[in-house]
Amino acid sequence: MTLQGRHIVLGISGGIAAYKSATLLRLLIKEGAEVQVVMTPSGKEFITPATMAALSGKPVVSEFFAANTGEWHSHVDLGLWADLMIVAPATACTIAKMATGVADNMLITTYLSAKEPVMVAPAMDLDMFAHPTTRRNLETLRGDGVIVLDSPSGELASGLSGKGRMLEPEQILEAVKRHFSALQQDYSGKRVLVTAGPTRESIDPVRYIGNHSSGKMGFALSAEFASRGAEVDLILGPTPVTPELPATVRVHRVESALDMLKSVEENYGECDVAVFAAAVADYRPLHPAETKIKREKRETMSIELVSNPDIAAEMGRRKRTGQINVGFALETDNGVENAIGKMQRKNLDMVVLNPAGNKDAGFNADTNRITIITTPGNKARELPLLSKRDCAKAIADSIAALSEAAKR
């Protein structure tokens, strides 16, 4: 899901190609984007807001005020929320209004307050497309920094054939993906190591000590770093969740804490950033049995445990200048204080605190509620409840800021 965590405003104006916007919306959502649809009054004549609201999971924005409550729809907020605005289809009329600032509908006011890049997919009849007015307006938009997508030749709604068709939804999706991957390549040339998932410590050939970690936070981090150009080594403990990861992420599957340490040791020397997101078992059975332990009518039994190596602390000792180590702290109480303690003990540059025992955060959840604490100064930044991919984005942003600050 290459658009995971991206916020997109999809503007729809009144052209026949509006029916294709439903497909575009579905493709964007399938890629993980959150989409807010904004329609012009005539856009609603071509495809219903009900369809677009159902597909996007959000009420469509179209009027300046909600008719029944008088609530004001803030185009300014949309401009701050969005990472990209796409106008598809962009009719000759909407293109003209965008070029001249005729702010008489929500789509144009949203465009005029957009802080994010804007992409238009023109769609109209061949003569309208070829008219000097449209050419001039499109040139104005290009000059204003708008990304104007191609309008290929083909059969048009009028029955004529020529240039002016809207790009197919799949092609618009490709343009959106290219846009985002070109935009943020701040990890290009960097190697990132991520540990994730639980570890399994053998008691005997059929039993183990483990935990409920799903590895989802580590998958989100790996996908985020990879999408920003990094080469990623994901050292992954045994999790039942199958990660959907970009092909550029190298996955090293391990079982126990000792296996994980070995794999981290093999990859740590080369990495620029190491994020320790795994839930490593603190102890392992001292003498795992070679054959299955029999019941033998025992009322109680004890297993002697021995401490596992602390992988993050061990790499903290090996850290060279310029390397950044990041750890996680899952805490039930005294969160910030304990997290800072861990950061110091393990020689981390950053620690990500997440609460334990919370349904919408931590193990197995798709969301997390994190506080990012960085050195120097132990500055703590508490974030609201976010998807794990949005958390990963915030963590990657903070690491990038840290390495920038270290260069100065």
Least separation, in Å, of the C-beta of 287 and ligand CTP? 20
Least separation, in Å, of the C-beta of 115 and ligand CTP? 35
Least separation, in Å, of the C-beta of 227 and ligand CTP? 22
User: CB 390: neighbour CB atoms within 10 A?
Assistant: 22
> Is 11 or 198 the residue whose CB approaches ligand CTP more closely?
198
The span of 27-35, 46-54, 156-164, 275-283 binding ligand CTP (CB under 6 A) equals 275-283
> Is 234 or 278 the residue whose CB approaches ligand CTP more closely?
278
Q: What single letter denotes the amino acid at residue 334? A: N
> Is 280 or 370 the residue whose CB approaches ligand CTP more closely?
280
Residues in 167-206 that interact with ligand CTP by CB under 6 A: 195
Instruction: Please report where in the chains the tokens 């990209």 appear, as a residue.
Output: 84
367: contact with ligand CTP by CB under 6 A: no
Q: What is the DSSP string of 321-372?
A: TT-EEEEEEEESSSHHHHHHHHHHHTT-SEEEEEESS-TTSSTT-SEE--EE
28: contact with ligand CTP by CB under 6 A: no
Preceding amide of 169 cis, omega within 30: no
311: contact with ligand CTP by CB under 6 A: yes
Residues in 60-79 that interact with ligand CTP by CB under 6 A: none
Integer Cα distance of 21 and 107 in angstroms: 15
The partner residues of 330 in beta bridges, in order of sequence, read 354
217: contact with ligand CTP by CB under 6 A: no
Q: What is the CA radius of gyration of the chain?
A: 26
The partner residues of 162 in beta bridges, in order of sequence, read 154
Least separation, in Å, of the C-beta of 9 and ligand CTP? 37
Catalytic residue among 68, 137, 211, 338: 211
Q: Classify residue 162 by burial, with Cβ atoms within 10 Å: 0-12, 13-18, 19+.
A: middle
Least separation, in Å, of the C-beta of 341 and ligand CTP? 9
> Is 116 or 259 the residue whose CB approaches ligand CTP more closely?
259
By rule CB under 6 A, what string of x and - marks binding of each residue 319-348 to ligand CTP? --------xxxx-----------x---x--
Integer Cα distance of 161 and 163 in angstroms: 7
84: contact with ligand CTP by CB under 6 A: no
Phi-psi category of residue 272: left, alpha or beta, with phi > 0 → left and psi -120 to 50 → alpha: alpha
- Is 211 an annotated catalytic residue? yes
The span of 39-47, 132-140, 141-149, 305-313 binding ligand CTP (CB under 6 A) equals 305-313
Collapsed DSSP state (helix, strand, coil) of residue 192: strand
Per the structure block, which two tokens stand in for 150? Answer: 């191609």
Would you give the distance in Å from CA 163 to the centre of its chain?
36
276: contact with ligand CTP by CB under 6 A: yes
Which residues lie below 8 Å from residue 320, measured CB to CB, with a gap of 6+? none
Helices H, strands E: what count in the chain?
Answer: 14, 21
271: contact with ligand CTP by CB under 6 A: no
> Is 87 or 257 the residue whose CB approaches ligand CTP more closely?
257
282: contact with ligand CTP by CB under 6 A: yes
Preceding amide of 376 cis, omega within 30: yes
By rule CB under 6 A, what string of x and - marks binding of each residue 221-260 to ligand CTP? ------------------------------------x---
Total number of residues binding ligand CTP (CB under 6 A)? 16
Collapsed DSSP state (helix, strand, coil) of residue 389: helix
The span of 10-18, 27-35, 165-173, 308-316 binding ligand CTP (CB under 6 A) equals 308-316
278: contact with ligand CTP by CB under 6 A: yes
Of 61, 280, 373, 399, the one binding ligand CTP (CB under 6 A) is: 280
The partner residues of 39 in beta bridges, in order of sequence, read 12
What is the CA angle 250-239-279, rounded to 5? 90
363: contact with ligand CTP by CB under 6 A: no
Integer Cα distance of 348 and 281 in angstroms: 19
> Is 2 or 347 the residue whose CB approaches ligand CTP more closely?
347
Query: Which residue, among 63, 6, 9, has the nearest Cα to 31 in the 3D structure?
Result: 6
Q: Which residues are catalytic?
A: 211
Residues in touch with ligand CTP (CB under 6 A): 195, 257, 276, 278, 280, 282, 308, 310-312, 327-330, 342, 346
